[in-house]
Amino acid sequence: MKDVAARILIFAIFLSVGLGEIQAAAAAPATDQTYALATTLKVGGDGGWDDVTLNAAGQLLYVTRTTHTMVIDVSTGKTVHDIPGTSRAHGVVLVPDAGRGFISDGKGASVIVFDLNTGATLGKVPAAEDADGIIYDPASKQVLVFCGDAHQMVAIAPDVDPKGGMPSATIDLGGSPEFAVADGKGRVYVNIEDRDEVAVVDTHAMKVIARWPLGPGKHPTGISMDRVSRRLFVGCRNGKLVIMNADDGKIVADFPIGAFVDATAFDDGLLFASCFDGTLTVVREVSPDKFELAQTVKTELGARTMAVDGNSGTIYLPTSDLTPPPAATAENPRPRPMPVPGTFRILVVTRGGTH
């Protein structure tokens, strides 16, 4: 929510859909309604949230909650760890080989390092202003942090000394990064939100090697990838899901999606875009250059981020009851909708869900 247009959009969503009735943003074939809300994990607690990360076993869900990060057992809905130490937590990346996890702290311009087994905080490493998106790049074996206001990508070794260690590299991205995805071969694709483009980073040389415009897509946020077909899936705040060739930047297709997208994901031939307006768009990959709208799933207002279980296809989306944004002040010029205390929950969307 970095500009006036975004705030107006969110307020308009409240006015048009209210807090209970969510309309699908795009029509979907009635014969292909395969996903639905199956259950809800009632977590509770105060405050907002941002990105969510699921471990490889599909058992533990890491949810950033501003000043702390909750680790939730999705089979029970119980919190097994609660990791403190952040001023404004955004994202989590897990590096099992190092036995560590990493949390980006935007307000703290740093990355928290924690123990995967115990959830204990080990220390922090400096990053840059507005440390936000965070991924692991297997080609360079680095944790990569994308710092929006600083216009930088910061690389951190997984075995960094958490008490006094420093980043291994810093790259100027020439614009404000939102999120990124790695192809596992030494290329990382970064959404540059204020330039409406994807920047391509060579993580062996640690430099930007290409910039590709997003065409119909404006203000990109979430990005994911089919590493086999080498297609990128970019969710844009102007209601577009843009599909791009990861080898040359050619735009293959685009689809309408809901308002205020924050995440995209790819799993088992399907791509997903989760939106604040309570819709989850599902697009099927027929071939590398042919895609079709499969479904628009009704979720709940605020469910804009997600994690997909690659084992079962289950999708987890955090949200809570919300009130309209408060009036802007000098201290808070870009107010957000306010979560209602105690209502935070995880929506569980499955194939053939019954809710």
Spell out the residues 6+ positions from residue 239 whose beta carbon is closer than 8 angstroms to its own: 25, 256, 257, 258, 259, 261
Q: Which of 157, 192, 213 is the last residue of a domain?
A: 213
- Contact by Cβ (8 Å): 10, 298: no
63 and 183 both lie in a single domain? yes
Residue 255 lies in a domain: no
165 and 203 both lie in a single domain? yes
The pLDDT of residue 334: 77
Residue 251 lies in a domain: no
pLDDT digits (tens), the chain, 355 positions = 444 445 545 545 554 444 433 343 444 443 345 899 999 999 998 889 999 999 999 999 999 999 999 999 999 999 999 999 999 999 999 999 999 999 999 999 999 999 999 999 999 999 999 999 999 999 999 999 999 999 999 999 999 999 999 999 999 999 999 999 999 999 999 999 999 999 999 999 999 999 999 999 999 999 999 999 999 999 999 999 999 999 999 999 999 999 999 999 999 999 999 999 999 999 999 999 999 999 999 999 999 999 999 999 999 999 999 998 888 888 778 787 889 999 999 999 999 865 4
139 and 224 both lie in a single domain? no
128 and 199 both lie in a single domain? yes
The pLDDT of residue 302: 97
Residue 183 lies in a domain: yes
209 and 353 both lie in a single domain? no
- Domain extent, residue 42, equals 1-46+218-244+260-355
133 and 172 both lie in a single domain? yes
CATH of the domain at 182: 2.130.10.10
Residue 41 lies in a domain: yes
Question: What are the tokens at 229?
Answer: 């077909």
199 and 99 both lie in a single domain? yes
What's the domain count of the chain? 2
89 and 40 both lie in a single domain? no
What 210-219 contacts at long range (C-beta under 8 Å, 24+ apart), as own/partner pairs, is 210/249, 211/174, 212/244, 212/249, 213/249, 214/242, 214/244, 214/251, 215/242, 215/251, 215/254, 216/240, 216/242, 216/251, 216/254, 217/241, 217/242, 217/254, 219/193, 219/194
3-state secondary structure the chain: CCCHHHHHHHHHHHHHHCCCCCCCCCCCCHHHCCEEEEEEEECCCCCCCCCEEECCCCCEEEEECEEEEEEEECCCCEEEEEEEEEEEEEEEEEEHHHCEEEEEECCCCEEEEEECCCCCEEEEEECCCCEEEEEEECCCCEEEEEECCCCEEEEECCCCCCECCCCCEEEECCCCEEEEEECCCCEEEEEECCCCEEEEEECCCCEEEEEEECCCCCCEEEEEEECCCCEEEEEECCCEEEEEECCCCCEEEEEECCCCEEEEEEECCEEEEEECCCEEEEEEEEECCEEEEEEEEECCCCCCCCEECCCCCCEEEEECCEECCCCCCCCCCCCCCEECCCCCEEEEEEECCCC
Question: What are the tokens at 20?
Answer: 């209970």
How much is the pTM? 0.91
Residue 16 lies in a domain: yes
Residue 250 lies in a domain: no
Residue 351 lies in a domain: yes
169 and 108 both lie in a single domain? yes
155 and 274 both lie in a single domain? no
70 and 26 both lie in a single domain? no
237 and 173 both lie in a single domain? no
